[in-house]
Amino acid sequence: MREVFLTILKKFTREDMSVKEDWELAPLVRSHLDRGRFLLFMDDVWTVEDWRRIEPALPRNNKSGKVLITSRHERVTKQNLNREPHKLRFLHTEESWELLQLEVFGNNNKCPGDLEGVGKHIAT
């Protein structure tokens, strides 16, 4: 978890966070994520225990930020969701783009034009 939290913190601060104790990192990540817009993508979370170690670092009330996780294990994906997880198959390029827009911008909202190039790059 230490490396995950340090990687996230590197995106928000130039301060050397590696000098911090392990127990200090999750609250620091949360305080940075509470402040603004973000998309945090966590690929292939393996266990519920891993998710429970990550979760304390995630903001609870920031409607501007989104966390997307993937897992091969349905138990992991069902943690703290308000809906059933999306069961993936290989998506076509257009389907990937539509799913990303839905998760980031919500129903009936499209990606702003100035972010479309980056968004499509992420989706493919």
pLDDT of amino acid 93: 92
33 close to 58: Cβ distance less than 8 angstroms: yes
State the chain's mean pLDDT as an integer: 84
User: How big is the chain by its Cα radius of gyration, in Å?
Assistant: 16
Measured distance CA(109)–CA(101) in Å, rounded? 7
Contact in structure between 67 and 18 (CB atoms under 8 Å): no
CB 28 within 8 A of CB 17: yes
Question: What is the domain partition of the chain in residue ranges?
Answer: 2-82, 89-124
Distance CA 52, CA 44 (A): 14
Question: For residue range 57-110, what is the model confidence (pLDDT) as tens digits?
Answer: 888 888 788 888 888 777 777 766 666 777 767 889 999 999 899 989 887 778
Round to whole Å and give the CA distance between 36 and 38: 6
Instruction: Give the CA dihedral 36, 115, 15, 61, nearest 10 degrees.
Output: 20
